[in-house]
Structure 1
Amino acid sequence: MRDFQSYDLIIDARSPREYEEDHIPGAINLPVVDNDEYAEVGTLHRTDPMAAYQIGVCYSLKNIARHLQQHVAQYNRKSRILVYCFRGGKRSRLWFDALDTIGYRVDRLEGGWKGYRRWVNEQLTIVPRNYRYLVLSGPTGCGKTRLLTALHKAGAQVLDLEDIAVHRGSVIGAVPGREQPTQKLFDSFLLRKFSEFDPAKPIWIEAESKKIGKVQLPDALLESMRDGTTISIDAAMPQRVQLWREDYRHFEEDPLALLTRLAYLRPLIGGQEFAEWQRLAESGQVTELFERLMRNHYDPTYRRSMLRNYPEIDASPKIELDDLSTEALSRVAQSMRLEFEVIAAARGA
Structure 2
Amino acid sequence: MPIELPALPLRDLPFDEIIDVRAPSEFAEDHIPGAINLPVLSDAERARVGTTYVQEDRFLARKIGAALVARNAAAHLEGPLADRGGGWRPLVYCWRGGQRSGSFTTILKQVGWRADTIDGGYRAYRRAVVETLYDTPLDRRIVLIDGGTGTGKTVLLEHIARAGGQVLDLEGLAHHRGSNFGGWPEPQPGQKMFESRLLPLLAETDPTRPVFVEAESNAIGQLRVPPSLWAAMGRAEVIRLEAPLEARARFLTTTYPDLMDDAARLTPRIDSLRPYQPRDRIEAWHMLAREGRHAALAAELIAHHYDPKYNRIPREGRTAIGQVTLTDLTDDDLARAATEALALTGAT
The correspondence of residues 40-119 of structure 1 with structure 2, limited to 5 A, is: 40-46=48-54, 47-119=56-128
SS at match of 1:317: strand
Partner residue of 1:332?
337
Whether the 8 Å CA contact 2:52–2:60 is kept in 1: the answer is: yes
Is 1:163 equivalent to 2:163 in the alignment? Answer: no
Distance 1:193 1:312, change over 3 A: closer
Distance 1:210 1:133, change over 3 A: same
Cα distance in 1 between the residues matched to 2:277 and 2:17: 53
Match of residue 151, structure 2, among 132, 142, 149: 142
Q: CA deviation at 1:107?
A: 2.2
Cα distance in 1 between the residues matched to 2:302 and 2:246: 11
State the one-letter code of the partner of 1:141. Answer: G
State the one-letter code of the partner of 2:194. Answer: F
Cα distance in 1 between the residues matched to 2:84 and 2:331: 41
Cα distance in 2 between the residues matched to 1:272 and 1:255: 19
Q: CA deviation at 1:108?
A: 0.9
Distance 1:235 1:30, change over 3 A: same
Q: CA deviation at 1:105?
A: 2.9
Cα distance in 2 between the residues matched to 1:76 and 1:320: 58
Partner residue of 1:283?
291
SS at match of 2:80: helix
Larger CA deviation: 56-65 vs 258-267: 258-267
Cα distance in 2 between the residues matched to 1:71 and 1:128: 41
| Deviations 1:229-279, CA, capped at 9 Å, x for gaps | 100012222322222212211221234632312323223222222222122
Cα distance in 1 between the residues matched to 2:85 and 2:221: 42
Partner residue of 1:186?
194
TM-score by length of 1: 0.90
The correspondence of residues 7-18 of structure 1 with structure 2, limited to 5 A, is: 7-18=15-26
| Deviations 1:94-148, CA, capped at 9 Å, x for gaps | 1211222223232211111112111111110355621011110001111110011
Is 1:203 equivalent to 2:203 in the alignment? Answer: no
Cα distance in 2 between the residues matched to 1:291 and 1:86: 50
Cα distance in 2 between the residues matched to 1:49 and 1:24: 30
Whether the 8 Å CA contact 1:127–1:194 is kept in 2: the answer is: no
Is 1:34 equivalent to 2:42 in the alignment? Answer: yes
Cα distance in 1 between the residues matched to 2:318 and 2:124: 41
Cα distance in 1 between the residues matched to 2:308 and 2:146: 14
Partner residue of 1:125?
134
Cα distance in 2 between the residues matched to 1:27 and 1:309: 40
Cα distance in 1 between the residues matched to 2:65 and 2:323: 62
Distance 1:131 1:55, change over 3 A: same
Is 1:320 equivalent to 2:325 in the alignment? Answer: yes
The correspondence of residues 172-251 of structure 1 with structure 2, limited to 5 A, is: 172-176=181-185, 178-251=186-259
| Deviations 1:61-114, CA, capped at 9 Å, x for gaps | 121122223323434344442111001100000121122222323221111111
Partner residue of 1:347?
none
Cα distance in 1 between the residues matched to 2:230 and 2:282: 33
Distance 1:280 1:74, change over 3 A: same
Cα distance in 2 between the residues matched to 1:312 and 1:61: 57
| Deviations 1:132-182, CA, capped at 9 Å, x for gaps | 111100011111100111111222111110111111111221101x11110
| Deviations 1:200-251, CA, capped at 9 Å, x for gaps | 2211101110100101011221121121110001222232222221221122
- RMSD over aligned CA atoms reads 2.1
Cα distance in 2 between the residues matched to 1:78 and 1:327: 51
The runs of 5 or more residues in structure 2 that have no matched partner are: none
Richer in helix (by share): 1
Is 1:309 equivalent to 2:315 in the alignment? Answer: yes
State the one-letter code of the partner of 1:130. Answer: D
Percent identity at matched positions? 38
State the one-letter code of the partner of 2:334. Answer: L
Distance 1:190 1:243, change over 3 A: same
Aligned residues: 339
TM-score by length of 2: 0.91
State the one-letter code of the partner of 1:122. Answer: E
